């Protein structure tokens, strides 16, 4: 996987969460995924297809962080992950993949996006299935952790 692909997703995720929810996430070091696993309570995933490469993006949130993002965006949040929260995570997934798509376009890589899917379930794990390398970026905040994972094959 082209390492140029990493920063657009990292930057888009930071921008979206900071702009929409005024939460500043602290990114950890992007890692090749071997033992590290994206694990959380709600995830948005989306497929991306281009001439030069195809792949997938996932955003995974711990519950407390997802509910805090919801609270900061809408002024209120439920106590648990419900349909409103999954809709919000789907929208965030569209925004992050859209932001990354624009930045990748400036680098000469054009992608079309599929539609997002949101997964809810305590402590679920996400595995991208591809011949390409998997990159996972952990994020910390005072409300809990998030993971961005990308995988592209050329």
**Positions that interact with a second copy (CB under 8 A):** 43-49, 54-56, 58, 83, 86-87, 90-91, 93-94, 112-130, 132, 151-153
* Of residues 26 and 62, the one with the C-beta less far from a second copy: 62
Q: What is the DSSP string of 3-63?
A: GGGHHHHHHHHHHHHHHHH----EE---EE-SS--EEEEEEEEEEEEESS-EEEEEEEE-H
Minimum separation from the CB atom of position 144 to a second copy (A): 17
Q: Are 110 and 102 in contact (CB under 8 A)?
A: no
**From the CB of 94, what's the least distance to a second copy, in Å?**
8
In whole angstroms, the minimum distance from the beta carbon of 119 to a second copy comes to 5
Q: Toward a second copy, which CB reaches closer, 48 or 148?
A: 48
- The nearer residue to a second copy, 74 or 142, going by C-beta atoms, is 74
Tokens of residue 43, six digits? 């995830």
> Dihedral of CA 55/135/38/41: which sign?
negative
Q: Of 26 and 92, which has the nearer Cβ to a second copy?
A: 92
């Amino acid at each position: 996987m082209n390492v140029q692909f990493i920063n657009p997703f990292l930057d888009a995720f930071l921008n979206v969460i900071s702009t929409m929810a005024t939460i500043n996430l602290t990114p950890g070091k992007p890692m090749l995924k071997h033992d590290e696993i994206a694990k959380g309570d709600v995830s948005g995933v989306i497929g991306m297809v281009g001439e030069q490469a195809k792949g997938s993006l996932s955003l995974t949130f711990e519950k407390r962080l997802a509910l805090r993002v919801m609270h900061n965006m809408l002024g209120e949040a439920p106590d648990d992950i419900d349909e409103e929260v999954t809709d919000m995570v789907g929208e965030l997934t569209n925004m992050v993949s859209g932001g990354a798509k624009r930045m990748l376009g400036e680098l000469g890589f054009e992608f079309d996006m599929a539609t997002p899917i949101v997964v809810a379930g305590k402590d679920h794990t996400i595995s991208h299935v591809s011949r390409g390398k998997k990159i996972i970026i952990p994020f910390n905040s005072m409300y809990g952790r998030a993971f961005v994972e990308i995988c592209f094959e050329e």
